[in-house]
Amino acid sequence: MSDTPARFGIEGFASVERDPHGLERVAITTPLANAHIYLHGSHLTHFQPRDRRPILFLSAKSLFQPGKAIRGGVPLIFPWFGPNAADTSLPAHGFARTRAWNLEAITRRGDEAVIEMSLAASDATRALWPHDFELRYRASVGAALEMALTVHNTGAAPFTFEEALHTYLSVEDVRRVCVHGLAGKDYLDKVRGGRRFTEGSAPLTITQEVDRVYVGTRADVTVDDSAADRRLLVSKSDSDATVVWNPWIDRARALADFGDEEWPQMLCIESGNIGESAVTLPPGAEHTMTAIVSSL
């Protein structure tokens, strides 16, 4: 593993360092927030606005190894969501989250840090998905966290992909949260065999395992974390699906890289294009999806 050149650092603002496991990450310390973004998966694991609690959940049991997904933060999901529909032996949630990305730039925009990373098709990705592409990820770390994932078709034929910014929010107690913004939306319920239901008019509460893909929605989602006396906001653009996930007790126990007692501390609110909102890109075309996460 070679070191990223020191020229990427900005004195007292951003630096490239190795974490305790030996993986490279960008460490951001600005007047507005702290953050960590790994080159592994272009995976943002930590975001904490100044004088606030951390906004993202990261499991104490997470693996930090090349080829393995990090459990928590914001995994980047591409080019398929969940198991591959045609071949379940392929890695769940695609390969973007487990590959080494290139750090393109760290720039300062006032008190914000902007980190840009890229991932291009290679023989290894073509063995899993036979298309030429370039991904660009831009994370702006300020009072809010703004993420933009751009997919560029660099090949000669169209391709179709799914994607998600699989955001693990940190909550004090998931049993006491209210999720606003999904009322009246249709969802596919993975806990009930993927069947389609329509959300009622009341805010969503979490009382058991929840694994839902809300479809046809670009709405903001607010998580009212009453036990912490704060609200978290996820807003987005060019994303037509919102996933809500908490594994609850039994599924948490079944996940080797997730603590048995950690499930009350997280709720995934994921911005994506999944299933019926999968995106088809002609040669040369680009698609950008964004999500903004903040604490109100």
Interface residues with ligand TA6 (CB under 6 A) are 69, 82, 92-93, 166, 190, 211, 243, 245, 268, 270
Looking at the Cβ atoms of 56 and 69, the one nearer to ligand TA6 is 69
- Which tokens go with 267? 């709720």
With CA atoms as reference, report the closest residue to 48 among 38, 31, 35, 29.
35
Q: Whose Cβ is closer to ligand TA6: residue 163's or residue 270's?
A: 270
The least CB distance from residue 211 to ligand TA6, in Å, is 5
Cβ at position 16, least distance to ligand TA6 in Å? 26
Residue (155 or 275) nearer to ligand TA6, CB: 275
Least separation in angstroms between residue 164's CB and ligand TA6 is 7
Closest to ligand TA6 by CB, 59 or 140:
59
Beta-bridge mates of residue 95: none
Question: Catalytic positions, please?
Answer: 166, 270
In terms of CB distance, is 254 or 296 closer to ligand TA6?
A: 254
CB of 103 to ligand TA6, least distance (A): 24
Nearest-approach distance from CB 235 to ligand TA6, in angstroms: 19
